[in-house]
């Protein structure tokens, strides 16, 4: 059993392969957090807690004259606002009398086989009940009006602990949840670095490292989506931690909307971590008898450095978060029409591109934006999801049949959540858009956002999508979302429930995606939000891949995909070979380098195949053959970051290693060509030091390749890349 309860000490201990997590109900029924870190003896770690009389730190009433007991300094499992704890808290609730002061006390527990699920929300899952255990600890407020149920999922072999919270109103009056976060962890000792991943549109997930100061270091989004600006994933490390050694804690939020994550150090050198829904656009009206579930947070720990932590998330998310046919099945190599023709196409042009693509070995043709309604520019048509047959010169089935006749599959682009004012749908149902009465709305990309908190809106859009999908053979759908949300107001909800709109919107989005997932089990869904604006674990539950960034420049993608790799598996990273000079940067990079970078993802092309030079065609054909050859190694192998592109090395490298260490693929891009310089040396990782490996026909012991390294050939052109296959000698 991965969950232990000691009745004598009232301690709960959660165990994974490498980690141990512990909490304790003390003599006052306060649930204290006692330990999270390296696995060891299931001892009562509350001996590490110091009790002292601290000035200006109040004491709960039931402790009497004991000034050494204060929630302002004790490590707590789920701290609440108004309890005398002045640090960041996880729960703030407003009572019917308008007060917010709250205290929680331990009321019981349950241990169950299997992994809990959450209604309407994504979760990590276990294939069998034997692969996970669930702990539910119940706390009750001292005014006896509501319960707080703390959910813990322990996936021992995955080295993952998940958390969620259920608030249950058992009073006779409504309560208002003004903040309800999903996880809190208190560390009593030590300094910690927090590694976050910030960015902007077309420059997402840049790694940033800060020492958590006295005060608060926070990231978050109140844009209605997890955002390009900050990712709902971060890593806490000891100051000495590197890619290969040191204590590392991962915190990943399985949610696609507003979020808040922060680290705070108090006056006594204690560090608190909290994560959950951002409170700025959140206030939930909890009726008597109702329950509210927070989204799941997934936590992981390792003492073996950042790379080992990433591999925990890679394995868990690829196999126990992504679902359906395409979570492990090989996905087709695709050609997307966007950067080649944008909205300037007809059916003849698309067929012309598809014919050339088929000759190259491309397996899926994707028709991007511009095929529906009145849609030649991005100022009109969104919301009118019917095929513009005049533009295509045929119906969708005829177009799809022609592409399938070429031996290819067919895919299509949608942006279901948004609407243009110049559309039939808006003229008929303007109240379906999120707008504040009496105020002109904020536009983004000349569009508004549909109110997905409303079931009638969702059903209308879903019916339109299904009519299109049922009208032709369509194997792939790209779900895009190209603006942040503002003017958060629903025409259907009363004033006291307007604070629920942002979260109800995300629940509505998940409802739509779940219905698509269930109705079309053979459909490959790809998520997108202007590229990486909603690259989060929540979306991966519904879409096994996400377009990583609208920036397809191979050199910029090195940094974007490097940052993404910390929390997300390679199999989820949408990456394409695009045209040169690159549309976003004007940079010119070799065709082989663009493929090397795109192979660290789902792999496809985003260019006009009719303009490919004759000498480039066999290169592309070989790239596709090579990607298929190494597909399992790339997608399922252990991923190692060998350098950081942010450090501007002479060359940047990464590596895929088969789990049994019999095979590896080393990928390197030359970032500089300094004159009269030594060859670039890359030290490999993850090999068996006692095995002999063949590299370019030469034999090397694994220990030599990892300790001494491998010399990369001299680059002869700017941004040249190298893909070097490494195999165990005498492997069958």
Q: Give the active site residues.
A: 536, 616
Residue with tokens 């590229």: 531
Sign of the four-CA dihedral 70, 75, 78, 80: positive
As a residue count, the chain comes to: 732
**Cis upstream peptide for 559 (omega within 30°):** no
655: Cβ–Cβ under 8 A, 6 or more apart, which residues? 639, 640, 642, 664, 665, 666, 667, 684, 685, 686
440 burial level (CB within 10 Å; 0-12, 13-18, 19+):
exposed
Residue ranges in 290-365 assigned as alpha helix (H) = 305-320, 338-341, 347-360
CA dist 513 and 140 (Å) reads 35
Q: How far is CA 268 from CA 47, 272, 328, 651, in A?
A: 17, 11, 47, 44
Q: Residue 582 corresponds to which tokens in the numbers above?
A: 């690159």
Q: 424 phi and psi, to 5 degrees?
A: -60, -40
Q: Do 576 and 336 contact (CB within 8 A), yes or no?
A: yes
Q: Do 93 and 103 contact (CB within 8 A), yes or no?
A: no
How many other CB atoms sit within 10 Å of the CB of residue 575?
A: 27
Q: Give the residue from 137, 128, 129, 194 showing the smallest Cα distance to 164.
A: 137
Q: How far is CA 384 from CA 90, 236, 417, 462, 515, in A?
A: 42, 46, 12, 12, 20
Q: Residue 20 corresponds to which tokens in the numbers above?
A: 């141990």
26 burial level (CB within 10 Å; 0-12, 13-18, 19+):
middle
Q: Do 510 and 257 contact (CB within 8 A), yes or no?
A: no
Sign of the four-CA dihedral 226, 230, 231, 237: negative
Q: Do 12 and 24 contact (CB within 8 A), yes or no?
A: yes
140: Cβ–Cβ under 8 A, 6 or more apart, which residues? 104, 105, 107, 146, 147, 148
CA dist 255 and 259 (Å) reads 8
455 burial level (CB within 10 Å; 0-12, 13-18, 19+):
exposed
Strand partners, 12: 5, 23
Q: Give the residue from 475, 504, 478, 506 showing the smallest Cα distance to 490.
A: 504
Check residue 449 and report its DSSP letter: E
CA dist 332 and 16 (Å) reads 36
Strands 476-479, 524-527: pairing is parallel
Sheet holding 409-414, edge to edge: 573-574, 545-547, 524-527, 476-479, 409-414, 364-367, 334-336, 604-606, 577-578
Q: Do 297 and 279 contact (CB within 8 A), yes or no?
A: no
CA dist 291 and 282 (Å) reads 16
């Amino acid at each position: 059993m991965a969950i232990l309860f000691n009745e004598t000490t009232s301690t709960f201990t959660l165990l994974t392969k490498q980690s141990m997590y512990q909490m304790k109900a003390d003599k006052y029924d306060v649930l204290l957090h006692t330990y999270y870190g390296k696995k060891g003896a299931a001892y009562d770690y509350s001996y590490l807690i110091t009790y002292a009389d601290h000035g200006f730190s109040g004491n709960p009433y039931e402790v009497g004259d004991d000034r050494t007991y204060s929630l302002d300094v004790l490590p707590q499992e789920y701290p609440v606002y108004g309890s005398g704890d002045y640090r960041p808290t996880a729960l703030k609730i407003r009572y019917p009398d308008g007060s917010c002061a709250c205290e929680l006390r331990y009321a019981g527990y349950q241990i169950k086989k299997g992994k809990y699920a959450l209604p309407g929300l994504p979760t990590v899952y276990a294939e069998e009940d034997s692969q996970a255990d669930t702990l539910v600890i119940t706390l009750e407020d001292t005014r006896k009006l509501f319960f707080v149920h703390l959910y813990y999922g322990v996936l021992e072999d995955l080295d993952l602990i998940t958390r969620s919270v259920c608030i249950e109103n058992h009073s006779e009056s409504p309560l208002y949840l003004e903040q309800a976060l999903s996880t809190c962890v208190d560390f009593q000792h030590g300094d910690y670095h927090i590694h976050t991943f910030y960015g902007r549109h077309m420059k997402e997930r840049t790694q940033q490292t800060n020492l958590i100061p006295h005060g608060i270091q926070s990231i978050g989004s109140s844009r209605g989506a997890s955002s390009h600006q900050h990712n709902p994933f971060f890593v806490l490390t000891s100051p000495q931690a590197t890619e290969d050694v040191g204590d590392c804690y991962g915190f990943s939020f399985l949610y696609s909307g507003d979020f808040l994550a922060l680290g705070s150090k108090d006056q006594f050198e204690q560090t608190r971590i909290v994560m959950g829904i951002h409170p700025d656009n959140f206030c939930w009206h909890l009726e008597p008898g109702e329950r509210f579930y927070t989204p799941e947070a997934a936590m992981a720990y390792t003492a073996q450095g950042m790379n080992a932590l990433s591999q925990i998330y890679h394995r868990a998310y690829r196999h126990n978060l992504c679902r359906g046919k395409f979570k492990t099945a090989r996905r087709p190599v695709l050609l997307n029409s966007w950067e080649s023709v944008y909205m300037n196409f007809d059916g003849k042009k698309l067929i012309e591109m598809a014919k050339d693509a088929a000759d190259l070995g491309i397996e899926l043709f994707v028709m991007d934006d511009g095929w529906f309604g009145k849609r030649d520019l991005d100022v009109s048509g969104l919301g009118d999801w019917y095929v513009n047959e005049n533009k295509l010169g045929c119906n969708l089935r005829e177009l799809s049949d022609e592409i399938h006749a070429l031996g290819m599959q067919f895919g299509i682009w949608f942006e279901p959540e948004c609407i243009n004012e110049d559309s039939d749908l808006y003229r008929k149902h303007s109240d379906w858009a999120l707008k504040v009465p009496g105020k002109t709305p904020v536009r983004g990309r000349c569009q508004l956002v549909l109110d997905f908190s409303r079931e009638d809106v969702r059903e209308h859009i879903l019916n339109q999508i299904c009519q299109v999908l049922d009208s032709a053979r369509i194997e792939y759908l790209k779900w895009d979302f190209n603006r942040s949300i503002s003017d958060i107001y629903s025409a259907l909800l009363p004033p006291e429930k307007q604070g629920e709109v942002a979260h109800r919107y995300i629940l509505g989005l998940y409802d739509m995606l779940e219905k698509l997932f269930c109705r079309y089990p053979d459909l490959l869904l790809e998520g997108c939000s202007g590229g990486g604006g909603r690259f989060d674990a929540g979306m991966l539950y519904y879409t096994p891949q996400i377009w990583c960034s609208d920036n397809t420049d191979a050199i910029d993608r090195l940094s974007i995909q490097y940052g993404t790799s910390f929390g997300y598996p390679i199999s989820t990273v949408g990456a394409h070979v695009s045209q040169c000079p690159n549309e976003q940067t004007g940079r010119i990079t070799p065709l082989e380098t663009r493929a090397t970078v795109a192979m660290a993802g789902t792999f496809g092309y985003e260019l006009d195949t009719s303009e490919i030079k004759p000498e480039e065609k066999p290169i592309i054909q070989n790239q596709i053959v090579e990607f298929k050859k190494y597909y399992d190694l790339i997608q399922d192998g252990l991923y190692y970051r060998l350098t950081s592109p942010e450090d501007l090395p002479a060359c940047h490298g990464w590596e895929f290693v088969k789990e049994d260490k019999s095979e590896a693929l080393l990928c390197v891009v030359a970032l500089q060509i300094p004159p009269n310089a030594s060859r670039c040396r890359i030290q490999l990782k993850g090999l068996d030091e006692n095995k002999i490996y063949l590299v370019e026909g030469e034999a090397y012991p694994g220990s030599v390749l990892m300790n001494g390294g491998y010399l990369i050939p001299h680059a002869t052109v700017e941004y040249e890349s190298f893909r070097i296959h490494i195999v165990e000698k005498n492997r069958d």
